Structure 1
Amino acid sequence: MPPSSRTAAVPSAVPGEASAVHGTAVLIVDSRGQYLLHLRDAHKPIVEFAHAVHLIRRPGGRPRLHMVFRARRWQGGPRVREPDKCLAWRWWPREEPPEPIVPYARVANDGIGMGRLYTERGW
C-alpha cells in the first residue's frame, strides 16, 4: 500500500483506471510499469478479485467503482518509480490498517475482513 504525495502521505491501494481494457490488465500493466511487480505466471494473471466498492463521494457526484484484487504471490518489486505519486511502500496486517487511510481502501479492507465481495457507500 503506497502512501501518496498527492494525499499528504495517506496510505492507499495500488491505483489504476480502466476505460477500454479489463481490470486485471490495468492492474498487471500498472504494477509492472510503476512498481516493478510482476503479477503474471506462464502468461496468465496471478491475481483474484477480492472486493468492489461502488460509491458516490458527494450528492450529485460522479459514481466510482473501485475494484480490489488480491495477489498471493508475485515477482520483483515493489519499488518507488514515481515519487510524485508514491512516497514509499509499507505493509500492514489487514486487521491493523494505518491511520489515516484513503476512505475507499478502508471500506474495501473492512469488507474483505467480513467476507463480503461488494460494498456501496454514499447512494
Structure 2
Amino acid sequence: MRQFKDIRIAVAGTGYVGLSIATLLSQHHHVTAVDVVPEKVEKLNRHVSPIQDDYIEKYLAEKPLNLYATLNGRAAYAYADFVVIAAPTNYDPVKNYFDTSHVEEVIDLVLEVNPQAVMVIKSTIP
C-alpha cells in the first residue's frame, strides 16, 4: 500500500453522496471522480459544482483539491487503492425494488481491472 498521502481513490458517482466524499477526501489524497454525464465531468474539472451544495461549491472554488473527474471508469479504477461506489440505486415503489444494476456494473468493472482494490459501497442497497 502507498503512503497515506499517496493513496489513490476513485469515486463512482458524483451526486450528493459521491461528490461530498470526493471533495472531502481530495483534500489529502488523489481522487478521481467517475461519472457517465459529460457535463458533470467537465464542470468538475473546471472546479464548478454540478450540484447545488454550498460547501461543495465553496471547496471547489477555494480549496486546493487533488480532484480530477473522468468518464473513463476503467482507467480510474485500474490505479485506485480504494473505490467508493456511490452510484444511483433508484427505488421503484410499485415493484418495491431498488435497482442496483449501476452498483453491480461498477463492482464488475473493478473486479476486472483491479481486483485488489478495496471497494466501499455508499449507495443505498437492500
Normalized against structure 1, the TM-score is what? 0.29
Normalized against structure 2, the TM-score is what? 0.29
Higher strand content, 1 or 2: 1
Higher helix content, 1 or 2: 2
Q: Which has the higher contact order (CA 8 A, sep 6+)?
A: 1
